Structures are given as C-alpha cells and as structure tokens.
Amino acid sequence: MNINRISHCVLYARLSVTKEESVSIARQVQSCRRYAEARGWEVVGEFVDDGVSATANRPEDRKGWSALLAAEGFDAVVIWKVDRLARRVLDFLHADETLQLRGAGLVAVEDPIDMTSPQGRAFAVMLAVFGEMEAEAIRARVRAARAQLIKDRRFAGGGIPYGYRSTANPEGPGRVLAQNPDTVGWLTDAVRMALRGTSVNAITTWLTNQRAPLPEGPRTSRNTGGRVWNRQTVDGLLRNPILAGMTPHNPGRARSAKRVDPFAVVRDECGAPVVNEPLAVITIDEFTALQRILDSRTCPQARKRSERETTSPFMSRVARCDDCEVYMCRGTNQRRPVIYCPKCRQTLSRTTFDPYLIARLLTERGSEPLGDSTVRDRWDAAGRDELARRKVLLTQLASLRVRRGVVGRYFDEDRVMLRWRPSGSNQSMREPDLVGGLRQTVTL
C-alpha cells in the first residue's frame, strides 16, 4: 500500500466495555472520519465491534471485522489506535497480512504508523507489543483484585447465583453474597429432590408447575404467557459449588469446553476448598454425591461424550438431508436412536426407519446378484455385524434422501425418497466412493 495513492477507505472501531473515561465508538468513528476527510479520502464503509474484547477475540472472530474483510472497494482501513484492532502481536500481524494480500493497509489516527516502510512496520509491531503488555497487566490486576475480594469473603462480581442476593458488607466496604429468603427455599428443595434421585427434567417441571420464581435475566415464555423453567438452567443450579459454600475459581476455560468443572473452586494453601458456611445449603460431601448422581444419569445428554453408549453404525453417512444436501448423522434423541441433519437439525427416528429400510432392501433387492452370491445371502451372512450390513445396503443404493417431517422426528414413508441402483448388474462388495468414512456418534 502506498499512502499517497489511497482514495477510498473504510473505518473500524472497537470497544470492550463502555465507560465514562473510555473513547466511545462514536468518538472513534468521528476521529477516523475527520482524519480521512482531511486527506481527501472517500469513506465507503464503517465497521464496528461494540462490547468485544480484543484479548479474548481475534479480529477474524469478530462480526464487524469479518464484515469489513467481506467488503470491497477500499485501499485502507482507518483505526483510532493500534490496540483497537488487536492486543496481541500475532493477531495484529495476521490482520495486517490479510489486508496486504488484498492490496490494502492500516492507518492509525493516534499512532503515527506507516505500513509502507520497514521502519514503519517495525514501529507498528512495537505498538502491538505494548498493547499486549498492557492487556496482560490489566488481567493481572483483575486477578489480584478478585483474589483479594474472595479472601475477604466479599462479592467479586459477575452473575448472582439463584437463591442468593448481593447485600452491603456489614463488616466494611463492598458487597457480600447472602442467601435470598425469597428463593433459597426453592433452591434447597430442588437440591434435596436431586439427591433423592429425581431427574433434572422432573425438577424442571415441578418448578414450573409450582410457579417458582425464575432466575434474574431473560425469561422464557410459552404461547400461554406462562413463565417456564428449562432443563439447562436447573442443571446449572445443581452444579454450582456455591451450594456447599464454595467459590468457583473461574480461571477461564477453553472455547471447546462444554461444562465448567464444579470442583474448580478456590482452595487454601493446603488444597482444601475455602468454604463460606453461611452460604451453604448442603455439605461438601453432599455436593460431591450430587455431582455423582448427575453424572451417572441414564440420559445421554448428562454424560460426557466418551461415556455415552454408541448407536448402530448401520446408517452412518447413508442418507442425505433433502433440504441441506449433507449426510445425516446418527445419534440419539430422548434416548432413542435417530439420524439428524447437522445443519437444519431435522431428525428421523430409527426405531421404525431401520426395519422399514431393511424390509424394502430384502423384499425389493434380495434376489439381486452380489458378487458370487445374492443380496439376501450376503445379508444373512453378515449376521449382527452392523458394518457388514451397511456395506450390503450401500451396494444397492443409488440415493437415499430424507425430507423434513410434519411431526418432528417421527417416521413417515413420505419423508423417505429411496432409489435403487439398476437391476440385473452383478454388484461387487466394494463400498461406493461417495459414501466416505463413518461419522462419530453424537447425542442431541
């Protein structure tokens, strides 16, 4: 990019949290626009990421920046400061490289960087280094402040757990958590029901029927206008270590993590959990037993993926979704085997579909030659080997498509569009190339 040849530009602004002392999105955009107008550049677009952390989100993972990269017709991206784009050096370099590949470059209003020269690029990298250092210093201060608040048994901020409330600290500054008399009874009853073996779904229904107050935040309503609880909320309440007076350690977790470890709590020098007795509704031993009960439930959704029972591979990558043109995956829904589309999520129960498909295969194709035998003979020889059965089926299929049903996952012959290969040809047992490999079992 030659800065003297810039004629069209776009503006980019980002802000993590709006504060009185922070430079607002509007002020950033205004400053960038004045900078562009003073140089005679035409502004062809504005892109914003409001409430997005540059430390936790790479530029390519942000909606505003992704939309900017999808736009066309600009020579430069004008930002207020380098740290508005990235607070990690690698993130900055990757973003700059992406712009260079399309013949555009970065211009910062407050940071006098010139990305057209080696010296300017080196200076920009130094600014990104200082931005990363500042971000790490902020994280360190936040961790230290939170640790001190927890040590003083003060409320460290964040969401207030159900059954509790934030009150003024009677022993000094700040606020503390205390049991909420309006909701702690409902919480205690739900915990006791779970310890007796009542399922999460049953507890959810009970709370809804009893019109228990919902947690603060978004409320889910049915068409009747009644407020309802949901299973995920109840499961989260039962896994919160505050039930035993413990404080979640909250060290952050990987994006791929599905559930926070209920035993990742603040501990003392000896490794024992730090317990705030006035907050506890059960003991640590009871909390441990409760987690064991929740983890051992027969519902597949309650288990870790590695502990779930596998479903039959007979329908792996066999049927395609008629709407999405992708293979349907095998899994379970309410403990029943199904195939489902990974895109539109339509499902089809295999309890009836598998026998239906097998019956049609043996009735309509049983006498077809297959290698040195017939389809029926090969099927009988496969016995209970689901992979061998699948292989027999695939030698006869030209296509198998499933269209969306009117009544959820339930089987209906009209949903199945089946086409066999031409009759009379001596098929081999080699699996067609278009089928591909098996797909891992997933539970809905």
> How high is the pLDDT of residue 253?
47
State the pLDDT confidence band at 157, using cuts at 50, 70 and 90. Answer: low
Q: What is the CATH superfamily name and number for domain 8-128?
A: Resolvase, N-terminal catalytic domain (3.40.50.1390)
Q: Which residues contact 95 (CB under 8 A, 6 or more apart)?
A: 59, 60, 65, 85, 86, 106
Confidence of residue 255 (pLDDT cuts 50, 70, 90): very low
Percent of residues, the chain, with pLDDT higher than 70: 78
pLDDT digits (tens, 9 = 90+) for 17-62: 755 445 789 999 999 999 999 999 999 999 999 988 877 788 888 9
Domain boundaries, the chain: 8-128, 186-217+228-296, 320-420
Give the rounded distance of the alpha carbon of 314 from its chain centre.
29
| Beta bridge partner(s), residue 54 | none
* Whether pLDDT at 63 is above 70: yes
Q: Residue 422: which of 400, 392, 396, 389 has the closest Cα?
A: 396
Query: CB count, 10 Å around CB of 95?
Result: 23
**Structure-model confidence comparison of residues 259 and 52, the more confident one:** 52
Residue range 98-128, pLDDT digits in tens: 888 888 888 888 876 666 566 666 776 776 6
The confidence score (pLDDT) of residue 150 equals 66
Higher pLDDT, 359 or 106: 359
More confident residue, 309 or 69: 69
Report d(CA 105, CA 115) in Å as an integer: 7
3-state secondary structure 181-230: CCCHHHHHHHHHHHHCCCCHHHHHHHHHHCCCCCCCCCCEECCCCCEECC
- The CATH homologous superfamily for domain 186-217+228-296 is Putative Large Serine Recombinase; Chain B, Domain 2 (3.90.1750.20)
Which tens digit of pLDDT belongs to each residue from 183-229? 999 999 999 999 998 999 899 999 999 999 998 764 444 443 447 89
Asked whether residue 437 carries a pLDDT value surpassing 60, the answer given is no
What integer pLDDT is reported at residue 433 of this predicted model?
44
pLDDT exceeds cutoff 60 at 165: yes
In this prediction, residue 31 carries a pLDDT of 93
Mean pLDDT of all residues in the chain?
81
| Band of pLDDT at residue 259, cut at 50, 70 and 90 | low
For tokens 């080699």, name the residue.
430
Greater model confidence, 439 or 181: 181
pLDDT band at 425 (very low <50, low <70, confident <90, very high): low
- From residue 154, give the alpha-carbon distance in Å to each of 167, 170, 171, 241, 276: 10, 10, 10, 16, 10
Return the pLDDT at 269: 79
Cβ-contact 243, 191 below 8 angstroms:
yes
Per residue in 294-338, pLDDT (tens digit) is 887 645 544 545 545 567 889 988 999 998 999 999 988 877 888
Which tens digit of pLDDT belongs to each residue from 364-407? 999 999 988 999 999 999 998 999 999 999 999 999 999 887 65
Q: What is the pLDDT of residue 250?
A: 63
Read off the amino acid at residue 39. R
Is pLDDT above 80 for 4?
Answer: no
